[in-house]
Amino acid sequence: REEIEAVEKVGASWLHLDIMDYHFVPNLTFGAGIIKSLRPHSGMIFDAHLMVTEPEKYINDFKKAGADYFTFHYEAAEKCEVLIAKIKEAGMKAGVSIKPGTKVESLTPYLKDLDLVLVMSVEPGFGGQKFMANSLEKVAWLKNSKEQQNYKYLIEIDGGINEETAVHAVQAGAEVLVAGTAVYGASDIAAAVAYYLNL
């Protein structure tokens, strides 16, 4: 609660929550129970990023826990269109994420139905990694597709975001920046949050 309040009171409106199962990625974090325990203490948008196999099993749990966005990995889904529909039926916003090695064009059939597209600019699993510059091409492609087709999804980027890479990401078209280490590792959290909000 204290960690959340530290960013919320200085203007952060989203909280990105990384859910890892030690199977889809080589790390283990937390599940819906932690989100449920945090929900009463924050009015922020809860952006749940599920780096897990069989994400369809967790839709109802995360809805009950209070997640606003449910973002699954394209690489973990058997039928993206079915999963997107189920997320929306549950009353959450539907997001899809792609790993660095996945072509962004693979998402073309689903873009019209998505609320969020998350581009991973590092290999998912651990914080503090170096930003992969080629992810900016994917962001730019998503921006162009959004403008040409009048799609409604938000473009989010996650991994290696800092004061320098954030500028490039925003210029490419990113609308939501996930800055974990850059905020919580900063000596002045308020100043760090203010920097990203003002880009």
State the catalytic residue, choosing from 21, 68, 115, 158: 158
Q: Is 158 a catalytic residue?
A: yes
State the catalytic residue, choosing from 18, 21, 47, 115: 18
Name the residue among 96, 113, 34, 110 with its Cα closest to residue 67. Answer: 34
Q: Is 21 a catalytic residue?
A: no
Query: 19 and 54 in contact (C-beta within 8 Å)?
Result: no
For the chain, the first-to-last Cα distance in angstroms comes to 27
Give the active site residues.
18, 158
